[in-house]
Amino acid sequence: MFYKKLTRLSALVLASAALFACAKAPSADPAPSASPTEPAVSAEPTAAPSAAPTAAPTPTAEPTEQPTAEPTPEPQQEKFEYNPHPFSAILLKDVPQEYWDAVHSLIDALRKGEPTFECASEEAYKWATDPATMNALIPTACTKIKGESEDGSAPFENGIGKIHYRMPVDEFLERQAKFEEMVVNVLNTTLEKDDDEFEIALKLFDYITANYTYQHEFIEQMDDGANYITMNTCNGQCIDIAGSFTFYLLQAGVDAVQVGCSNPDMAHEWVYLVINGNGYHSDATWSLREEGQQLDLHYFLMSDELRADSGCAVDDLTAPLLPKYWLSKSSTELPAYDYYLSFPWQAYYVSLDEESKLVNYLVDAEKLSLYYGIEQGAN
């Protein structure tokens, strides 16, 4: 796991007190005596000698108040905030911008408890309100929101789509707020805002594989969205774990999409993501581990060949967000040719040197390092 270290600076305030000084007044001279040979005469009244002027006391110095040193403010580490508009450029050939605009408008409306949202077309409305789309991009809404009107009227007309809440609106808003708080907490306890794409992906991969548990019960049959259940309970199957991993990656700014293979020999789901401009397959499910076990990096970033060698065919992938589901029926391409950031079999994570951009790992007790800087990782 990755930990952050904070430093705290303190200031010491000093105060000084002034000393008081007093001047002593000089004594008066004595009066002159009469001469003995001279007749005695009444002495003129001798004017009382005036006392020598008393020196004015030295003014008491006012205590000088030293300026209080302002405490040095702690450096404020920039925090992640919830991103209500997840987006994947990977799918733009089949999921055009108007579809993304529609789902973002839907999310904005749901976060306010509104009954309608703007969208450019009926096709965009249907994609945005499809359960697969909501499960992937708005987990709180899956099974709780339907793309239909409550009064039986047309659900979409004149650029406006209607929302049917299947639970009280105030309860949905509370549900959404708690979900967002949970997501932001995971991001800010797992990542740092200046992490690069590789660091974000590795740290989230570590988080998922250390905290999630494979759930043998079929979550999709429960009365809630699969990704919503998995992200709140950290339990799920490959499809749910891949969906959760994808959601966090998109929240943190790494382009990713959930994919899978479905054939008689293997039905499995994982994540396709882009790091430093190159595509990779990332399988958190097959790297799940018990407490105390080291992180196996082999399934972290795989090329097409490594993914296929593991038993998962990549010649016709599926993706829940694709309108036609199958890659073979779509224009989207998901190439993963690069090996540079791939790890060998049974490569166990040791440490991450973010300053030098090095991942240290063990293979058969031999300590190795991989440089993940962008100038080396990009083709």
Q: Give me the tens of pLDDT residue by residue for the chain, a chain 379 residues long.
A: 443 333 332 332 323 333 333 333 333 333 333 333 333 334 444 444 444 444 555 555 555 566 666 666 666 778 999 999 999 999 999 999 999 999 999 999 999 999 999 999 999 999 999 999 999 999 999 999 998 877 778 899 999 999 999 999 999 999 999 999 999 999 999 999 999 999 999 999 999 999 999 988 765 567 889 999 999 999 999 999 999 999 999 999 999 999 999 888 899 999 999 999 999 999 999 999 999 899 999 999 999 999 999 999 999 999 999 999 999 999 999 999 999 999 999 999 999 999 999 999 999 999 999 999 976 544 4
What pLDDT score was predicted for residue 18? 32
The pairs formed by 353-361 with CB atoms below 8 angstroms and a separation of 24 or more are 354/195, 354/199, 359/202, 359/297, 361/297
What pLDDT score was predicted for residue 223? 80
353 in helix, strand or coil?
A: strand
What pLDDT score was predicted for residue 340? 94
Task: Name the DSSP letter for residue 153.
Answer: S
Instruction: Write out the two tokens for 117.
Output: 């949202």
What pLDDT score was predicted for residue 50? 44
Dihedral sign of CA atoms 96, 100, 106, 108 in order = negative
352 in helix, strand or coil?
A: strand
What pLDDT score was predicted for residue 31? 39
**Calpha distance 138→133 (Å, rounded):** 7
**Calpha distance 71→50 (Å, rounded):** 59
φ and ψ of 154, to 5 deg: -60, 130
What pLDDT score was predicted for residue 214? 95
What pLDDT score was predicted for residue 72? 65
Query: pTM surpassing 0.85?
Result: no
What does the angle CA 230 – CA 163 – CA 148 come to, to the nearest 5 degrees? 100
Task: Using the structure block, give the residue that is written with the tokens 């929240």.
Answer: 251
Which residues does residue 273 pair with via DSSP β-bridges, in sequence order? 256, 280
**Calpha distance 154→163 (Å, rounded):** 11
268: closest CA among 229, 214, 224, 340?
A: 214
131 in helix, strand or coil?
A: helix
User: Is residue 209 within a helix (H) or strand (E), and if so which, with residue range?
Assistant: helix 197-211
286: closest CA among 245, 233, 334?
A: 245
What pLDDT score was predicted for residue 148? 82
What pLDDT score was predicted for residue 43? 40
Strands 256-262 and 235-236, sheet pairing: unpaired
Q: Cα Rg for the chain, rounded, in angstroms?
A: 38
Q: Which domains does the chain have, with CATH numbers?
A: 82-190 (no CATH), 191-346 (3.10.620)
**Calpha distance 212→187 (Å, rounded):** 15
State the CB neighbour count (10 A cutoff) for residue 11.
9
